[in-house]
Structure 1
Amino acid sequence: MDKKKDQPHVHHSGHNHEAEKGKAASQNKAEKDDHEHGGIFGKNTEMIFAIICAVALAIGYGLTFMNGLPAWSSLAFYVLAYFFGGFFTAKDAVETIARGGFEIDFLMLVAAIGAAILGSWAEGALLLALFSLGHALEHYAMGRARKSIEALTDLAPPEALVVRDGKERMVPIEMLVLGDVIIIKPNSKIPADGVVIKGEGAVNQAPITGESVPVDKMPVDDMTIDYAREKTIKAVHRVFAGTINGTSVLEVKVIREASDSTISRLIKLVNEAEKQKSPTQLFTDKFERFFVPAVLVLVTLLCFAFLVIDEPFARSFYRAMSVLVAASPCALAISTPSAVLSGVARAARGGVLIKGGKPLEDLGELNAIAFDKTGTLTEGKPQLTNVIVLNDFDEAELLRLVGAVEKRSDHPLAQAIIKGIVEKSKDIEFPEAKQVKGVTGRGVEAEVGGKKIFIGNRALFKADKIPQEAQDKMTELEKGGHTAMLVKIGGVFAGILSLMDIPRKEARQALEDLSQLGIKKMIMLTGDNQKVADAVARQIGVTDAWGDLMPEDKVAAVQKLAKSEKMVAMVGDGVNDAPAMAKSTVGIAMGAAGSDVALETADIALMGDKLESLPFAIGLSRKSRSIIKQNLWISLGVVAALIPLTIAGIASIGPAVIAHEGSTLVVVFNALRLLAYQNQYANSATKQKK
């Protein structure tokens, strides 16, 4: 029997995957228990208890208008309302006290007990009915935001069609091992991270990277490479679990186990982000630590108001209970977490991983953004940009001979030249080049068809007199940021080639979007010379370009920006730029899908290699900050209004409860508006092309 197929897969570290999965499920359950209450009616128990409480209250209140009934008949229904309305409130209060603290549930319970002592059973039952109903609706609304995150777990299918021993069989994705070959049928979800080894077609990566346009995929060139150990894999070869195949059949080699896939790590990081508190949340927590004891002191003093003013103890005690209800900061406690959770969930759906409330809030406060050039603002690889003919040389012949020489070289510039020539003349055939010799730092020389050919920079031709026309054109190209090379064929200067790491198509539009969002400074940092930096800057529209920088210079540049602009982000690939990211207010990694280092080092990870995700993330942050501020004003405003009204006796427990619980629901549903936030920058690349 094949153990690999019939036993749970065991990691190299010795941990059983099924056990780890069970442990993770238990942890998730424990986390959810803080927010949801189950029971005899399942996950809806809290809501059903709240409804029973409200019904019992209504019946008890109705019985008071019926003559001839004993007084205990309505009291029995009020007691029933107390039980169902106070069950989870008391449960939470006891658990909190057992941990050595007390919170809002405790305050509500004390107020309800106080009302019962005074004989105001109806008002106490109303308090518990609205409080329990409010909490049930609050947990339901918060669950909506969590489900937006948990829905990511459903993206990957539970099973995969794997080829083993020449046979196809369906296996659970947990049973897949590195090196397995899986078959992806048309219009089906991809079950695991891997590389394409057979078939070509487009894959919809929007669930993971947020890209709106399907990405073309094709097989890897070398099947013998262990791609599970490769740090960089071209996007055209790589696929992710949870993405959707197009109309072609693809065969994919698995390079990550289910528990280690990009989508699994994304879910884990988003769940961790939920636990990290934002600056506003830290402020509200600190505020509550001082505010709640102050309320208890005030309530205690109000209980003895009858000693100072002419009123019975019952009146003073009732007023104190009303103040206790009015001052409980329920809405304040939930206002920021609900907004942060909704914002992080919406960002994840848009292909942006935000690691907690702090980067979510900080992102909206940025005054400046520093960008790495290569691979961030530019394509990251040189491309043939110009072919200039000299001395009336035939262009087709120039390309044919240059291609023959460069085809024999493995230099990145040579590969870029060949690619550019093939794109210009698809059916071109290259003759054989002989005696090919590279001249370090200068260029290459060879012989083709009996003709000596030299391709390189000025230093390669220092013994020759370069024509002034060629000198002028090379200088012009170099000022524009191009790398220029002369071509000499058979003793004649035949042409000039230029190459350049060209800007991304969407870069200018993305930077314009950032400018409209109010980002004052956008600085490009690069190790290239200042001329190249200035040329790229002119093409894409950054406000400043700083060239000739070593990695440590980039760190110093970010520190300098932080002093002058206060809030600054660093955008890079998450590897070489990690030190600079660490010194910035917010570190942002480009193209983080599949990159362990980028996911770990950055505060924010743009899962797709798309610059337009950055304006979307900043716009979402601004909206999140706005909603957090609205929630704070609502929650604090209601408390500030209710406390003097209840102290003065103008508002009793009933109106205080309605206003109090109403404000709690308002802030939660206000926060949930973030889940519907629209990415108005999704098509910025398309606009740029047009």
Structure 2
Amino acid sequence: MTDKLRLDIPILLPEVHDAADACVARLISQLRGREGVEKVHVAAASGGEPAQLCVHYDPAVLPLPRIRELVTAAGARIAERYGHAVWQLDIPHERRARTIAGKLRALPGVLEAEASAAGTVRVEFDRSLTSEASLSRELERMRIAAAEPSRHAHQPGKHGAGEAGHDHETGPLGPNAELIFALTCGGLLACGYVIERFLAAPAWLPFGFYLGAYIFGGFFTLREAIDNLRLKRFEIDTLTLVAAAGAAALSKWTEGALLLFLFSLGHALEHYAMGRAKRAIEALAELAPRTALVRRGGDLREVPVEELAIGDVVIVKPDARLPADGFVVVGESSVNQAPVTGESIPADKQAVTDAAIARTNPDGLEATHRVFAGTINGSGAIEIEVTRKSTDSALAKVVRMVSEAETQKSPTQRFTEKFERLFVPGVLSLAGLLLFAWVVIDEPFRDSFYRAMAVLVAASPCALAIATPSAVLSGVARAARGGVLVKGGGPLENLGSLSAIAFDKTGTLTAGKPRITDVVTAPGVGEKELLMVAVAVESLSDHPLARAIARDGRQRLGEDPVPHASDFESLTGRGVAANVNGDTVLIGKAELFGARDIPPLSTPMQDAIASLREGGRTTMVVRQGSRDLGAIGLMDTPREGAKAALARLRALGIRRMIMISGDHQKVAEAIARQVGLNEAWGDLMPEDKVEAIKRLRAVAKVAMVGDGVNDAPAMANATVGIVMGAAGSDVAMETADVALMADDLANLPFAVGLSRTTRSVILQNVFVSLGVVALLVPATIFGLGIGPAIAAHEGSTLLVVFNALRLLAYRDDR
């Protein structure tokens, strides 16, 4: 059972010193709803120490990297005291990964440590007690050559590419040492058997070959068993060694050597098979080109992508891969974004109209201008301005997050590990009892001893150890290849067990590009006066409705000047406030007025709002000072393909789908009908959305699908939080459990379908691994020999691995 931890995080917010700041409140609201978080609170600053955010959490359910991502997304960062290091190693199998993680967790100052058979080792540590260098030395002492840690280990709160170079050496013995030792063991076993059975040779000669087979076959197994015993853990290796030693004690050297040969060969082949899944992830990192053609000082130079700086202009030739994230400044082309977003149709790209304006807010640019590293240019030459360094590109973040996801365990994996910790000592106890079977039944002690050793072989849960990790690794790798980022085994399993999904409206079920359809002015107010004030204020906001008012309002005003607005303030979920010509301007939903000391709307304005809403319009009221200027009606259109995506989700077994929206109920119902939903909840503030998700979660596993950080609290309270369009937003990518890299609902049925298949494969693997043990244990008790038990045992291990690898070939039926 993993101990729950308390982590006190000094709150570090740029230019913010108040622990009651909105950023801290948002972070607390996101963390409180997460499964695995027991308590979150702020300890006030005292004695010169900064305020502390105290998080009591279970690292088995919510790992520290996820807390780190949520902290960053909320605008804060974890203090430099807490380090985060990731290494890429060559780990031969899952049991070795567990040993490495266990030894690291036992070190002073290590908060969390996880390792996966895919080779990723992640450590969260307290810099006041240990250091990255000492952890690396500890890995070397384990005879594992560590690659360079990911760059973000040096920058707490920030993340590097996760592309740290891979060192595929298994200590000084080489990358294929276990396979070579296993084959040598098999060769010596075969020689000894042939000499013993068919040649007239002295007895010491075949014995020498068997002894050599024991040495080569048991080398890695003995090393693992010693490491585990030091950690006071009985693992599969221990059972195997005891059984092999027992066979030797009975002078059954042939069967003992066969046991070690098949055991070591099985794990060497498991290493090879898992390497295939690992290479699927490594292939992501290789999508970006090594060099870029950059314009500097009037000259064109080819430089390594690592040397690209923000603001560099890169020339991309037709049919070439893009070397960096950025926006198009010259040219037009279509770009195949499938490597990053999974979109099957190339996206048209064109240059921005004003590079200087684009430079001020590159993340807010339209998708038609933005490009990503690793995508493939079409037939037109383009020039792009770099907006992110190579270590911070969307592709680099995907590679890093996928690598770290391998170390975050699923509920089934946590269960099987707990089961093994109880099962292995139980097997040893059973074998101990069977040693005394000769007391009860009439047989020699030798036969009882042999039976006990056979039971040890039969009961070793090798297949169970790899059943879940292999499926999770393959599922996460396949999802990433399809443009879906799944942050670990937990979200992957939960996504496949959903029975309900809640969708945000704007930007999720709708295109998020509303247009002004109606302008209703109050008596004595002209349309131009209303639009001038509205455009001035909404130009300071990046909300989809604000952008629509600013864009369409300017078109309606033509050349008329727009006044200057200042002191902009967002009233979350209700509207905005600013100062125009010395007067306070409020723009928002009708519900903003008449609440919290704000005077209510006039009767004519209330009637106008009711009429617009009856027509399915989203409404925004504009008030300057104490005077209502009027209302603006907007209409958003459903996403193309939204109806088809929801139909596919129903076919996958999602029984309940609900749209939740801050818009008026009539507007929500109008959009819901168009996309094929029969359930819509409108008039919801952000806190109301959280309560809605809690109500749904009380009766079913529910996902919340949104398009940004505004939906983060609701996502946190859902079983799975899913964000769309994450390739264009760092905050969105870090906030959710599952990120659809493309701004396309069509990827959601793919993600759910893959997850359901993964859950099925995991259950199949667990059933096979436990089933084989359940059959072999009684069979060996009643006389089945060690040889057949070994063959069935190792065969089941390979079966579950190759069954899991089927997920890499999962096909979407779009």
Residue 669 in structure 1 maps to residue 802 in structure 2: yes
The secondary structure found in structure 2 opposite 1:56 is helix
Distance 2:463 2:370 in 1: 46
* Paired residues for 1:498-513 under 5 Å: 500-513=635-648
Distance 1:585 1:38 in 2: 39
Distance 1:642 1:376 in 2: 52
Structure 2: which amino acid aligns with 1:642?
A: L
For the Cα contact (< 8 Å) 1:367–1:566, is it kept in 2?
A: yes
Residues 428-472 of structure 1 show CA distances to partners (whole Å, capped at 9, x for unaligned) of xx997779999xx9xxxxxxxxxxxxxxxxx99979xx9xxxx9x
For the Cα contact (< 8 Å) 1:228–1:255, is it kept in 2?
A: no
Residue 163 in structure 1 maps to residue 284 in structure 2: no
- Residue of 650, 673, 676 corresponding to 1:538: 673
- Return 100-109 or 31-40, whichever deviates more: 31-40
For the Cα contact (< 8 Å) 1:112–1:124, is it kept in 2?
A: yes
Are residues 149 and 436 of structure 1, via their aligned partners in 2, closer, same or farther at CA, if it must alter by over 3 Å? closer
The secondary structure found in structure 1 opposite 2:501 is strand
The secondary structure found in structure 1 opposite 2:754 is helix
Distance 1:221 1:29 in 2: 47
Structure 1: which amino acid aligns with 2:729?
A: S
Aligned to 2:712: 578
Are residues 569 and 244 of structure 1, via their aligned partners in 2, closer, same or farther at CA, if it must alter by over 3 Å? same
Aligned to 1:446: none
Structure 2: which amino acid aligns with 1:580?
A: A
For the Cα contact (< 8 Å) 2:277–2:473, is it kept in 1?
A: yes
The secondary structure found in structure 2 opposite 1:183 is strand
Are residues 328 and 275 of structure 1, via their aligned partners in 2, closer, same or farther at CA, if it must alter by over 3 Å? same
For the Cα contact (< 8 Å) 2:726–2:732, is it kept in 1?
A: yes
Distance 1:232 1:483 in 2: 22
Distance apart, 1:416 and its partner CA: 6.2
Residue 27 in structure 1 maps to residue 87 in structure 2: yes
**How many residue pairs end up in the alignment?**
596
The secondary structure found in structure 1 opposite 2:364 is coil
Aligned to 1:678: 811
Aligned to 2:489: 357
Residue 619 in structure 1 maps to residue 679 in structure 2: no
Structure 2: which amino acid aligns with 1:284?
A: T
For the Cα contact (< 8 Å) 2:234–2:425, is it kept in 1?
A: no
Distance 1:284 1:177 in 2: 47
- Return 298-307 or 369-378, whichever deviates more: 298-307
Are residues 82 and 228 of structure 1, via their aligned partners in 2, closer, same or farther at CA, if it must alter by over 3 Å? farther
**Alignment TM-score, normalising by the size of structure 1:** 0.80
Structure 1: which amino acid aligns with 2:262?
A: L
Distance 1:435 1:67 in 2: 105
Are residues 55 and 515 of structure 1, via their aligned partners in 2, closer, same or farther at CA, if it must alter by over 3 Å? same
Distance 2:343 2:602 in 1: 45
For the Cα contact (< 8 Å) 2:196–2:206, is it kept in 1?
A: yes
Residue 561 in structure 1 maps to residue 696 in structure 2: yes
For the Cα contact (< 8 Å) 2:262–2:794, is it kept in 1?
A: yes
Distance apart, 1:167 and its partner CA: 1.2
Residue 659 in structure 1 maps to residue 781 in structure 2: no
Distance 1:259 1:550 in 2: 37
Structure 1: which amino acid aligns with 2:291?
A: E
The secondary structure found in structure 2 opposite 1:105 is helix
Distance apart, 1:383 and its partner CA: 3.5
- Residue of 713, 717, 721 corresponding to 1:587: 721
Aligned to 1:20: none
- Residue of 500, 510, 527 corresponding to 2:662: 527
* Paired residues for 1:213-228 under 5 Å: 213-225=345-357, 227=359
- Return 659-668 or 311-320, whichever deviates more: 311-320
Distance 1:523 1:664 in 2: 42
Structure 2: which amino acid aligns with 1:597?
A: V
Distance apart, 1:406 and its partner CA: 8.5
Distance apart, 1:676 and its partner CA: 0.7
Higher normalized helix content (fraction of residues): 1
Distance 1:437 1:63 in 2: 99
Structure 1: which amino acid aligns with 2:250?
A: L
Aligned to 2:366: 234
- Return 294-303 or 23-32, whichever deviates more: 23-32
Structure 1: gaps of 5 or more residues: 1-22, 388-401, 422-429, 442-458, 486-496, 682-690
Aligned to 2:764: 630
Distance apart, 1:664 and its partner CA: 0.5
Aligned to 2:139: none
Distance 1:60 1:514 in 2: 60
Residues 8-34 of structure 1 show CA distances to partners (whole Å, capped at 9, x for unaligned) of xxxxxxxxxxxxxxx999811276773
* Paired residues for 1:66-145 under 5 Å: 66-145=198-277
Are residues 241 and 434 of structure 1, via their aligned partners in 2, closer, same or farther at CA, if it must alter by over 3 Å? closer
Aligned to 1:300: 432
Distance 2:291 2:227 in 1: 41
Distance apart, 1:262 and its partner CA: 1.2
Residues 97-120 of structure 1 show CA distances to partners (whole Å, capped at 9, x for unaligned) of 233323111211121121112111
Distance apart, 1:260 and its partner CA: 1.3
For the Cα contact (< 8 Å) 2:613–2:664, is it kept in 1?
A: no
Residue 641 in structure 1 maps to residue 701 in structure 2: no
The secondary structure found in structure 2 opposite 1:577 is helix
Residue 258 in structure 1 maps to residue 390 in structure 2: yes
Are residues 517 and 480 of structure 1, via their aligned partners in 2, closer, same or farther at CA, if it must alter by over 3 Å? farther
Distance apart, 1:522 and its partner CA: 1.0
Distance apart, 1:95 and its partner CA: 2.4
Residue 290 in structure 1 maps to residue 425 in structure 2: no
Distance 2:800 2:187 in 1: 26
Structure 2: which amino acid aligns with 1:527?
A: G
The secondary structure found in structure 2 opposite 1:524 is strand
* Paired residues for 1:169-180 under 5 Å: 169-180=301-312
Distance 2:365 2:550 in 1: 18
For the Cα contact (< 8 Å) 2:363–2:728, is it kept in 1?
A: no
For the Cα contact (< 8 Å) 2:499–2:653, is it kept in 1?
A: yes
For the Cα contact (< 8 Å) 1:85–1:129, is it kept in 2?
A: yes
Are residues 111 and 662 of structure 1, via their aligned partners in 2, closer, same or farther at CA, if it must alter by over 3 Å? same
How much is the aligned-residue C-alpha RMSD, in angstroms?
3.3
* Paired residues for 1:244-643 under 5 Å: 244-383=376-515, 410=535, 412=547, 479-482=614-617, 500-563=635-698, 565-643=699-777
For the Cα contact (< 8 Å) 1:39–1:45, is it kept in 2?
A: no
Aligned to 2:624: none
Distance apart, 1:476 and its partner CA: 9.1
Distance 2:330 2:301 in 1: 18
For the Cα contact (< 8 Å) 1:228–1:256, is it kept in 2?
A: no
Structure 1: which amino acid aligns with 2:227?
A: E
Structure 2: which amino acid aligns with 1:625?
A: R
Distance apart, 1:66 and its partner CA: 2.4
Aligned to 1:16: none
The secondary structure found in structure 1 opposite 2:328 is strand
